[in-house]
Amino acid sequence: MLLGLVAACGGGGIEAPDAASRASVPCVSGTTQKIQLFGDSTQWLAGPYWQARWPGRVINSAVGGTKSTDLLAGIDGVNKPWPQSVMGDIVVIKFGTNDATPARGQTPLPVFKDTLRALFHGTSARVIFETPDPNTDSALRPDVYLYTQAVRDVAKELGTPLIDTDACWRAHPGWEAWLTDGTHASPEGRQFTVDQCVAPVMEALQCSQ
């Protein structure tokens, strides 16, 4: 059932984050836990911003153009079948945009949810789910929201932390300007994601340990 399907979300150039714009993170400064990112191109592009905020601790294993089922089966061209490529103490999983894409063999919602559950239960690492970024592509927007809500539902069901990037962006007026093509975030959008959506969750998680 979890067959490899061609997905849409491609890569792109990565601009260096502005170090001066990053606030200090006292709670995280003394820990050595590794954070590993999995997901599609939206996560891959954000990876350098994670790495700039938590230097030497973030492994970017996201792959552009992939879906959740690709990661689980180990057919994304980079990662082995789950969880053989897990190296982090904490893993952050961000899928939904490509899973929702009808033109690329949409992952049925029940399969998407089951895949998230399998990723969660398949590793001893601490799993955090992240919702897809908001999307202004008229062909994708209705479907992406269903998958965004599915990520929320599964995180709540499993009692695992959630980085709700979708809600975080939507609370900021003018967020649409951060999308370069209706799907991928601009450098400003990626910086906002890490500083305002990601960091509060990561700080709370690691300060409580």
Q: Which domains does the chain have, with CATH numbers?
A: 32-207 (3.40.50.1110)
pLDDT in tens, 161-191: 999 999 999 999 999 999 998 899 999 999 9
User: What per-residue confidence (pLDDT) applies to 205?
Assistant: 82
Could you tell me if 171 and 200 are in contact, meaning their C-beta atoms sit under 8 angstroms apart?
Answer: no
Could you tell me if 87 and 59 are in contact, meaning their C-beta atoms sit under 8 angstroms apart?
Answer: yes
Could you tell me if 8 and 101 are in contact, meaning their C-beta atoms sit under 8 angstroms apart?
Answer: yes
User: What per-residue confidence (pLDDT) applies to 32?
Assistant: 79
What pTM does this model have? 0.85
Decide if pLDDT at 17 tops 50: no
